[in-house]
Amino acid sequence: MSTGITAFGGYIPRLRLSRKSIVKANAWIDPSLAAHGKSERSMCDVDEDSVTMAVEAARDCLTGVDRGTISSLFFASTTAPFDDRQNSAIIADALGIDEEMTTLDVAHSQRAGTSGLIAGLKSAEVDGDGTALFVAADHRQTRSASVQELLFGDGAAAVTLGKEGVIAKFLGAHSICRDLVDHYRGQGAKYDYQWEERWVREEGYFKLVPKVIKTLCGKTDVSPGDIDHFVMPCLIRGARENVAGKIGIPAEAVRDNLLSGCGETGTAHPLVMLVDALQDAQPGQKILVIGFGQGADALLFETTDRIKDLTPRKGIRGTLANGTVEKNYQKFLSFTDKVDIYWGMRAEAGNKTRLTAVYRDRKMFSALIGGKCKKCATVQFPPAHICVNPECRATDSQEDYPLADSPAKIVSYTVDWLAYSPNPPLIFGMIEFEEGAKFMMQITGFDPNEVEFGLPVEMVFRIKNFDRERNFRSYFWKAAPQSNSK
């Protein structure tokens, strides 16, 4: 029985920063930036990071998948919010996956996405009946007025790996390890240091990538001319086409690198492009995926007939279609902590997270688990010892009931310009779930003029508070505009 990809999902943040706004603000420094001023790049909202994006990509991937089958979770990122706290465990909790599983963070190279994917495939091969969930996400910081600010983007992608219901069979992989430093980010540094592009292209991409592809093709007995989809993230213009031509891969197989509307999403980009390819792929097609960074990885997949029967999902295509253009460059600078804004006295209030309380109620906080009365079937949030139904009032009668994926609507709301919010105004209100449970929560992703009574919303996992004094961020769920692109 072959191991391979059994499902996929993706997430690109709703906000898309206009590249023209970047160029307009910085042309006085470098007029040549205008060469990269077309379209938009994705940007995280102020309450998003690599973990929240990974959760959303994983939720999309797990559409129609039994979460009880997940036996391991891998998370790849070079911008994980915690250096010494397992970020994959936060993701697992948010997804409500059984705690008796393996979790692992993979980091420290742009190749972490593909190297981690190879490790995940090997884990799925050994695990037998279990399913591995692999997620990659990056939210990289860039210097203002840099080319990277224009070309980078934020995003995440996820795949499940196993032996049952394989939609893309894993044919093999090959890796080369070489400490060729095309860029680096030292300990404690906020930004990458970039090296000279021509050297990286000639010594890196043009030498390492063809070598790793040739070896993999020899191992799998697949000709480069048989490749239907060639996935190779690279910001150097013409490099992907050059490599494909040298190795004999058809020109039409070279996948779009999604710079328009998205940008290069770092560690996640090989998977982002892979998910985009899988959304196009027909049965029997071969997909070659390249990861580059201190060496090179090459992975080869072949799609199966099952890809036609996969439950519809947003993927990269769907989330790209749900973008909102942001033209306020100052807002982007604020969201990425590049400007020191005075928020008023209300922003000075302490927000220390009580770790014992978070742990005690972790199901409620992390996975939005409510309670359902076993006597009258009333669903409520938060769960309590006493049923909220006045005609029942049973004690200790509630069982866990997940609400994160339940349809909901806005019953009441408040637009507050006085309360502190890093993206004012603060919008919150009463949200009613389809099952009848009601809960007061923050509302995100809406223009304040668009909020209305009765509007459908969906739950999204976001940053709730950021304690700068202790460098700790806590997460919870918020209500966001409903997305139907599947």
**pLDDT band, very low/low/confident/very high, at 346 (cuts 50, 70, 90):** confident
Structure confidence by residue, pLDDT tens digits, 355-369: 898 888 888 989 999
> Does the pTM exceed 0.85?
yes
What mean pLDDT comes out for the span 141-158? 97
CB proximity list for 433: less than 8 A, separation 6 or greater: 379, 381, 403, 406, 407, 408, 439
CA angle at 138 for the pair 137 and 139, rounded to the nearest 5°? 135
Please say if the pLDDT value at position 404 is more than 60.
Answer: yes
What mean pLDDT comes out for the span 72-78? 97
Structure confidence by residue, pLDDT tens digits, 188-219: 999 999 999 999 999 999 999 999 999 999 99
Please say if the pLDDT value at position 353 is more than 90.
Answer: no
DSSP 140: -
State the pLDDT at residue 219: 96
What mean pLDDT comes out for the span 242-259? 97
Which pair of structure tokens corresponds to residue 127?
A: 């695990």
Please say if the pLDDT value at position 176 is more than 60.
Answer: yes
> Looking at this protein, which amino acid is placed at residue 43?
M
- For 53, 254, 305, the CA distances from 302, given in Å and listed in that order, are 27, 16, 10
DSSP 36: G
State the pLDDT at residue 66: 92
* Residue % of the chain over a pLDDT of 90: 91
Please say if the pLDDT value at position 469 is more than 90.
Answer: no
Q: At what angle do helices 50-61 and 87-95 cross, to 10 degrees?
A: 40
Q: Say if CB 298 and CB 289 are below 8 A apart.
A: yes
Number of residues written out for the chain: 486
Domains of the chain: 4-335 (3.40.47.10), 345-368+403-481 (2.40.50)
Work out the burial of residue 158: count CB atoms within 10 Å of its CB; fewer than 13 is exposed, 13-18 middle, 19 or more buried. buried
3-state helix/strand/coil string of 46-86:
CCCCHHHHHHHHHHHHCCCCCHHHEEEEEEECCCCCCCCCC
Report the SS3 class of residue 12.
coil
Please say if the pLDDT value at position 485 is more than 60.
Answer: no
Q: Say if CB 373 and CB 391 are below 8 A apart.
A: no
Work out the burial of residue 252: count CB atoms within 10 Å of its CB; fewer than 13 is exposed, 13-18 middle, 19 or more buried. exposed
Please say if the pLDDT value at position 1 is more than 90.
Answer: no
Which pair of structure tokens corresponds to residue 200?
A: 């990286």
